[in-house]
Structure 1
Amino acid sequence: MGSKWRKVKLALGLNMCVYSSRNHLADDDDEASPQPSERRSDAALLSPSGDWVTAPSTPSSNRLRLSKSLSRSSSKKTCSICLASMRRGDGHAIFTAECSHSFHFHCIASNVKHGNQICPVCRAKWKEIPLQGPNSDTQVGKARINPVDWPQDNAAMTVLRRLPPRRSDSTRHAGPLFQTLEPSVFNDDEALDDEIHSFEKNTSNMLPIYCDDVTKVTIKTFTEVPAAPQSSALENFTVLLHIKAPCSNSWLNPGKNDASLPQISHTPRASVDLVTVLDISGSMAGTKLALLKRAMGFVIQNLGPNDRLAVIAFSSTARRLFPLRRMSETGRQLALQAVNSLVANGGTNIADGLRQGAKIMEDRREKNPVASIILLSDGQDTYTVTNGVGNQNQPNYQLLLPSPVLAEESSGFKIPVHTFGFGADHDASSMHSISEISGGTFSFIETEGVIQDAFAQCIGGLLSVLVKNLQVKIESVDPRIHLGFLKAGSYPSRVSPDQRNGYIDIGDLYADEERDFLVSINVPAEVSGNETSLLRVMCTYSDPLTKEMVTLEGEEVRIERTEAVMQENVSIEVDRQQNRVQAAEAMAQARTAAENGDLAGAVSVLENCRKDLSETASAKSQDKLCVALDAELKEMQERMASRHVYEASGRAYILSGLSSHSWQRATARGDSTDGSSLLQVYQTPSMVEMLTRSQATLLASPSTQRILRPVWSFAAQPKPR
């Protein structure tokens, strides 16, 4: 009964929030009454090193559950906002709220500044809130608290402000109480300091990428068959173009000449401007929002000091929660505080969130080499935008995306929006449409526990961009040869009117990414000669580090001509990619049938495709891609068992698969991003590396603590064989 904590309250004669310094309060502060709730705070979930306990595995689930023990002690010894220690004598002022939870004063003041008026730990509603301001006893509406001879010139002195009466229900969700006015132009992005920007070329900013080769972009070609009769003309002859991004453009470990070990390359990477657009509608309340905060914490911790991050939060309306600023130690801490201030309520205005995210990209004064937007939502867009023609109820998100001219300095390449549909109630069609229009991918997050892994896979790619604005040109060598179709998926492609030239705009490539395109041509008969020259392939791209344009030309494509008719087997490489294209087309047809209410027809389309694939040469040879395609098509059939199942997960699963195959890029699908899954055929080593870090933080295994360091300072280790 004689603790100094109670003496302070009695001296004040008020039941109010008190700012208390650990230097002046006795150790019996730990004698305070037990916490009123054992619910784990959202802030604790944000910690990459938070305690997680693995639930017993079941055939259908291997989810993680939270440890309840941390919530009782974290608020006493650790600030639940910045996750740093609150030890005595560490030079930080401490704020203890009326609910008895304590925080660093500057942290909770920032939390309140972002519109949060409830305890981040127990969610208790406060009657008084802390504000940080100058030491003036005459400030209107503010009171000075100095009960135990704290110095009058203390710059961090507590200032309290009593909250006004609660607003009526009609305006309760209109927005945060202390929301600052948004600027009309988002040109307040933090400058790219020259000294920090040069960090890109320093070895401390290198992402470890494991590979056997260290090359530039490579171009390979494969013909449908290696030889054809001289006397025969071939129509719709297929040529495969294989493009592979560099694994590294620097150096290998010196002194490592053992051919039995994989070579490890350190790759300087391009810095990133990343805008995250996050759904905080009412349906995100509880565990969803807590896990979103943790996932954002992982993203923030893995961005380097020359990367910049902005955060948009949207519900009924959207607001910029955090401006575009570098993820230095200070920027990282402020970003964590801003994310932790999120509170879920209101509707789902995806359009406004997307508009705000695009505005940040368009208005920024300076630009990092790589730019991307991440959009996550768990609901249907209740606020749509149309172009005034056609279906007035159909949203036209293209009007809200960053202009290519503004985004990439007239190059025509867009800023990709990578969308994440969360749960069973999200608008998969809209999210897929946004990603498809912008050049991004659509991922389906079926279970709550996968959200961090889904983000990790995405940024694992974004933090390894080695090729910018890649364009491929195909040119016929013989004037008798004309180009037919280009099977390029979602990549913009075109054939010249004379059918002599073809172009494919690929854009950015992550380290180790591969792209395969099928080209249809005619092969004329040869009167004489042992071979026919068919095509010439070249590509141009920008190096994001040196800003130099690179032009590469592949070897001329030729086919051998023979006098006798020969029965040639189709190239496995060409056959494999033909199967991929056929499977993607079947997925699109099945989706159309399902949307028209014909689930039986959709299942039949997928089943017929599986039968056709099983008869191909690559499938018979147990090609990895063909096995993965069959497993994926089977999964889609199961998710079309009924209208309810299709609405809940089938549509999103198919759209995520279409996004992955059309861009040839990994997406999260269903409840797994496991790199060992056959469905993840497009995962790159950098994506797998980031996924490993994410899963290590969730499991909190002591043996994997080395992976918790930020990606830009991670020390390369040999990849296990």
Structure 2
Amino acid sequence: MGGGDGKKESGATGGGSERDSLSLSLISQYNEIPLERGREIDLSFLVRIKAVAEMNEDRRAPVTLIATIDRSASMKDKLPLVKDSLKFMVQQLRDEDKLAIVTFDHEVDKLLPITSMTSSGKVLAKKAIESIRERGHTNLSGGLLAALQLLYDVPLSESTLVESIVLFTDGKANFGIKDREPLAKATKSMVNEIGRQVCVFTLGYGSDHDSDTLHAISDAGNGLFYFVENKDSIPDSFCDCLGGLLSIAAQNLVLTLTVNDELCRMVKPPLTSYVTESCPKQTYKITIPDIYCEEEKCIPIHTRLLAASSTAGCIESKAQILSCSLTYFDILRCSPKTTTATGAVLVSKEISDPVIVKEYQEDIELHLTRYDVAEAISSATKLADEGQLESARAALHRYKACIKKSVVFGLPLAKYFEETIDESLKGLASQSHYSGHGKPSMMNYSLSHYQQQSHGAGAGASSILSDGSGVIDRDTVVESFFGEKFYLIEFIAFILQHLKNLLMDHFSRTTWPLKTTDFDWVITVPAIWDAPGKRMMREAAYLAGLLTEYGSINKFTPVSYRSLPLPNEVNPDKLSLALEPESAALYSQETVGDQIESDPATSIIPRPSDYMVIDAGGGTIDITAHIEADGSIVVENIPTGNAWGGTQINEAFSKILEGIANDPGFEKFLASGDRSQNMADIIKIFYTEFESEKLLFGKEQTEEIRISLPSRFVRFHDKNLQAGIKKRSGIDYEDDMLYISKEVVESELFGPALNGIIECTLQAIKSNDNDLSTFYLVGGFGGCKYVHKKVKAAIDKSFHGQGRSCNVIVPPTPQLAVATGAAIWRKNPEKIKARRSDATYGIGATQSFEDDKHDEYYKFYNEEQEKYKCDSIFSVFLEKGELAKSDEVITASSRPSRQRNTTMKLQIYSTPDLGIQYIKDKNGKSTVTKIGQIVIDIPNPDNLPREKRLVDVTMDFSGTEIQAKAKYRVTGEEVKTVCDFLSAQQT
């Protein structure tokens, strides 16, 4: 097939259509070059091969995997995680996929022959996995060759397009073939004998494995080597490896490059580690390994244009400098393909210097840097192998300095290059550390840069489940539907980082590129959230890099018994948390005079001074009452609400569908094939099909809602659906469509949630002392026609019973009310003058004992101070229901409890009650809840006595977050103060 035009202004053309798995393009660093007699010009190009962005599961090529597992005695404490990883692997395979399991110690056992992963095959696989027990020594060659023999014995007619071996070991070969070269030769010989595209992936664990040998095996077997540094990384490494194997887009790639020898010559061979063959007439053939979905392979090409007389015939036209063609086998389409691209540049006599295309110049420089980093790390590895650690470190430092001077310095990918150099330098700390950890890591880094091989193609989590403890702290863990565990704060951080990257990518295409630090960031949160919930969003923003140009999260921390550290607070004033009902109120007040005439629910009324906001979102209902006077707002009530948001409707529908299909939790369907694809179907049912019907329900003439069911779900559950419908009234099923009558929707789906919303709303109205009559109903769920109709009717009925009238208004685009209002608030946060405290807040304190004030039970003698003190006093800052004004703060003085302390921690407590005097009763039971602590730095370089080291702590409860500042009287300066609400359960 021929090539099509790409970005013509830069001399780049490319081939490949939307129907192909790969696209090919060729870009030039210059858009235009001058015609100048006798002058030669260096010109660089970048060949870019890009695979399709996502895998269509129905078209994925079947795979055959041979899991080859070291079960020697040293594997005892790793085998449980290896087994779990193998079980996860089994879950991801489809009926047409095949799996075999080989284990080795001093003996080799084929626990599972090559078996199709049907439901019965998966049962056999799981039994085989459970039977693995540790014993003996390490006959690595025996296990590997047995795995290769299994593939050799498969007839061509029964083979699959993707055939791979995944070998896991934690030690060195001490049985069978022990030396690297013979083992690599044996691997290559067997792969050649098989005569098909076979890949061998090796996973080396810890400091005792032979990384050189495993690298040699994976190279000989056309695969990759993974260094598994610790136990917690075992599942991730298996997932990365498996994810790639299940998303191969193309195989047998051969790239042919030809230079126009009449106009230029190749300065040096293409910069790549792939096998490159030099052919006549400045032509090169490059063999490229399998490419996975979303992967990109880029190869820099250096050419030199000959003296300008050679290009005289190309004046004011495109001179074709380079052409390339790519042949490959398209795995997703099961057919061979060819695509082409050309590199051309405009020759002009009107200019004196080449015209650079900045975006392409950076691209080319990045990949030149990538290749140079791989070379630098590879050279440092060779030096370290010879015992020259100092020379290795010096080489890496020199190249890191080069990056800082290059045009790509500061770009995200260049930062990653620097990080890999830094990690390599850590591996060179000592000869023993290099041998155990440094070398395999450095080999991984250099290989990764050389081959641009993605190590993150594993299936990701697409749903999270709360741990159900009800306590949120920095170590709260959530679980994906694959059973993988993640720290909630990091999960949120990756979401925030993704949103940030989308925004920055958008602005990067503007005339003035912006940095993350150019923005003030606002995150909206429900008003009913407590301090730890709000603090989690702030710390997640720090991790996501919203407030800095560096140091954002790049991987999940393995879940363990160790607590996550407190993240660094950088530019904290650049981030604000906006309360959602307040934001919605600001938006609604701004738009109240511009209602949509066609909707009677939004009739125009005078701007109210008293009003209530009902924010009905997906998860929560959030209600606040406001008084507006002289342009300022007072939040008059304690925020109230509940969890009867829109997802409750989805839960009710889920119960109905689970009952009809006789499949609780849809576990049967999820386990019937590829779990991630099946989960995607479930998500589509609820968050695409049902969600749109839910929001439209309540319009005139609505008699039913109709839900289109995915074909996979229908094929699996068709008989159950037919039988289940017969047991239900008001629900029909026909032609992959589920029909739910208006009566069922109102009573079973919306009924419970609306009762919860209405009950909460009426209670908020009753407890409000002000004579308000305007209600704003906002949020994605609040914009639902039926919700508005029912909430309005309930409030109308309540008011009519008192002989009063009211207005229940849904503003335009209610789903955007919170986001738009948050921007309005951030521009003028002082507009909210005061808020009611939702609880009583204070700190635990120790004071000098006073007979007429303190209880004898809490009396104790302080030997250092030589006086009687009273312990466990609840020193109250703010009472529940008290109005916290924006211009009022609370100041208290404190000093360290011990002379040697350079940090002071004030524990913060809260209670819904009034009149609490002590933080625990006489039985030792807590009377208040510890929600966090204020951590204050109090240095003491002059070794001042404790009594002179007073700190004035200022607390501000009037904002959307609890804030604290501290002034050290010793210096008269503010000291570092952190409000830590996520370590409350650890101290």
1:490 and 1:399, CA in 2 relative to 1: closer, same or farther beyond 3 A?
farther
Q: Which amino acid aligns with 1:375?
A: L
Q: State the shift of 1:643 in Å.
A: 1.3
Q: Does 1:279 align with 2:58?
A: no
State the number of aligned residues.
464
Deviation sequence 1:620-640 (CA, Å, 0-9, x none): xx2221010101101110121
Q: Does 1:220 align with 2:6?
A: no
Q: State the shift of 1:312 in Å.
A: 1.1
Contact 1:402 1:415 in 2 (8 A): no
Contact 1:304 1:711 in 2 (8 A): no
Look up the SS of the partner of 2:198 in the other structure.
coil
Q: Does 1:599 align with 2:385?
A: no
Equivalent in the alignment of 2:50: 244
1:695 and 1:399, CA in 2 relative to 1: closer, same or farther beyond 3 A?
farther
Q: Which amino acid aligns with 1:557?
A: A
* Cα distance between partner residues in 2 of 1:367 and 1:233: 57
* Cα distance between partner residues in 2 of 1:349 and 1:275: 17
- Which of the pair has the greater relative contact order for Cα pairs under 8 Å at 6+ separation? 1
Give the 5 Å matches for 1:604-683.
Answer: 604-619=394-409, 622-667=410-455, 683=456
Contact 2:199 2:223 in 1 (8 A): yes
Moved more, 522-531 or 655-664: 522-531
Contact 2:257 2:324 in 1 (8 A): yes
Equivalent in the alignment of 2:321: 534
* Cα distance between partner residues in 1 of 2:431 and 2:444: 18
Q: State the shift of 1:609 in Å.
A: 0.9
Deviation sequence 1:252-273 (CA, Å, 0-9, x none): xxxxxxxxxxxxx666211101
1:399 and 1:480, CA in 2 relative to 1: closer, same or farther beyond 3 A?
farther
Equivalent in the alignment of 2:137: 347
Q: Which amino acid aligns with 1:609?
A: Y
Look up the SS of the partner of 2:30 in the other structure.
coil
Q: Does 1:440 align with 2:245?
A: no
Contact 2:101 2:110 in 1 (8 A): yes
Equivalent in the alignment of 2:101: 311
* Cα distance between partner residues in 2 of 1:358 and 1:690: 35
* Cα distance between partner residues in 1 of 2:396 and 2:362: 23
* Cα distance between partner residues in 1 of 2:482 and 2:163: 27
Unaligned runs of 5+ residues in structure 1 are 1-212, 250-264, 387-391, 668-682
Look up the SS of the partner of 2:173 in the other structure.
coil
Equivalent in the alignment of 1:398: 185
Q: State the shift of 1:711 in Å.
A: 3.8
Equivalent in the alignment of 1:710: 675
Look up the SS of the partner of 2:249 in the other structure.
strand
Contact 1:302 1:712 in 2 (8 A): no
Q: State the shift of 1:227 in Å.
A: 3.0
Contact 2:170 2:205 in 1 (8 A): yes
Give the 5 Å matches for 1:124-139.
Answer: none
* Cα distance between partner residues in 2 of 1:345 and 1:713: 39
Q: State the shift of 1:468 in Å.
A: 2.1
Q: Which amino acid aligns with 1:381?
A: A
Q: State the shift of 1:449 in Å.
A: 1.4
Q: Does 1:698 align with 2:484?
A: yes
Equivalent in the alignment of 2:237: 454
Look up the SS of the partner of 2:408 in the other structure.
helix
Q: Which amino acid aligns with 2:391?
A: G
Compare the two structures and name the one with the higher strand fraction. 2
Unaligned runs of 5+ residues in structure 2 are 1-17, 465-478, 493-664, 689-987
Moved more, 542-551 or 448-457: 542-551
* Cα distance between partner residues in 2 of 1:416 and 1:552: 25
Look up the SS of the partner of 2:273 in the other structure.
coil
* Cα distance between partner residues in 2 of 1:691 and 1:234: 58
1:393 and 1:217, CA in 2 relative to 1: closer, same or farther beyond 3 A?
closer
Q: State the shift of 1:690 in Å.
A: 9.4
1:658 and 1:689, CA in 2 relative to 1: closer, same or farther beyond 3 A?
farther
Q: State the shift of 1:247 in Å.
A: 2.6
Which of 123, 127, 132 in structure 2 is aligned with 1:337?
A: 127
1:404 and 1:277, CA in 2 relative to 1: closer, same or farther beyond 3 A?
closer
Equivalent in the alignment of 1:143: none
Q: State the shift of 1:291 in Å.
A: 1.1
Q: Which amino acid aligns with 2:485?
A: L
1:650 and 1:479, CA in 2 relative to 1: closer, same or farther beyond 3 A?
same
* Cα distance between partner residues in 2 of 1:581 and 1:568: 25
* Cα distance between partner residues in 2 of 1:520 and 1:567: 15
Deviation sequence 1:419-472 (CA, Å, 0-9, x none): 111112111111111112222111111110111111111111111112121211
1:690 and 1:474, CA in 2 relative to 1: closer, same or farther beyond 3 A?
farther
Give the 5 Å matches for 1:412-451.
Answer: 414-451=197-234
Look up the SS of the partner of 1:618 in the other structure.
coil
Equivalent in the alignment of 2:331: 544
Q: State the shift of 1:498 in Å.
A: 3.2
Contact 2:252 2:329 in 1 (8 A): yes
Contact 2:187 2:217 in 1 (8 A): no
Equivalent in the alignment of 1:371: 163
* Cα distance between partner residues in 1 of 2:177 and 2:268: 35
1:443 and 1:567, CA in 2 relative to 1: closer, same or farther beyond 3 A?
same
1:428 and 1:690, CA in 2 relative to 1: closer, same or farther beyond 3 A?
farther
Equivalent in the alignment of 1:470: 253
Look up the SS of the partner of 1:319 in the other structure.
strand
1:561 and 1:236, CA in 2 relative to 1: closer, same or farther beyond 3 A?
same
* Cα distance between partner residues in 1 of 2:58 and 2:321: 36
Deviation sequence 1:563-621 (CA, Å, 0-9, x none): 542165570110000110010000000000100001111111111111101111111xx
Q: State the shift of 1:402 in Å.
A: 5.8
1:317 and 1:230, CA in 2 relative to 1: closer, same or farther beyond 3 A?
farther
Q: State the shift of 1:353 in Å.
A: 1.4
Q: State the shift of 1:318 in Å.
A: 2.2
1:422 and 1:223, CA in 2 relative to 1: closer, same or farther beyond 3 A?
same
Q: State the shift of 1:277 in Å.
A: 1.1
* Cα distance between partner residues in 2 of 1:379 and 1:458: 20
1:384 and 1:572, CA in 2 relative to 1: closer, same or farther beyond 3 A?
farther
Give the 5 Å matches for 1:469-548.
Answer: 469-487=252-270, 489-499=272-282, 501-527=283-309, 528=312, 529-530=315-316, 531-548=318-335
Q: Which amino acid aligns with 1:243?
A: I
Root-mean-square deviation over aligned CA pairs: 3.1
Equivalent in the alignment of 1:30: none
TM-score, length-scaled by structure 2: 0.44
Contact 2:463 2:480 in 1 (8 A): yes
* Cα distance between partner residues in 2 of 1:480 and 1:691: 57
Deviation sequence 1:381-439 (CA, Å, 0-9, x none): 113638xxxxx785442223464554454xxxx52211111112111111111112222
Look up the SS of the partner of 1:226 in the other structure.
strand
Q: Does 1:578 align with 2:578?
A: no
Q: Which amino acid aligns with 2:235?
A: Q
Q: Which amino acid aligns with 1:319?
A: D
Q: Does 1:321 align with 2:321?
A: no
Q: Which amino acid aligns with 2:101?
A: V
Q: Sequence identity, in percent?
A: 24
Equivalent in the alignment of 1:381: 173
1:240 and 1:283, CA in 2 relative to 1: closer, same or farther beyond 3 A?
same
1:545 and 1:582, CA in 2 relative to 1: closer, same or farther beyond 3 A?
closer
1:428 and 1:447, CA in 2 relative to 1: closer, same or farther beyond 3 A?
same
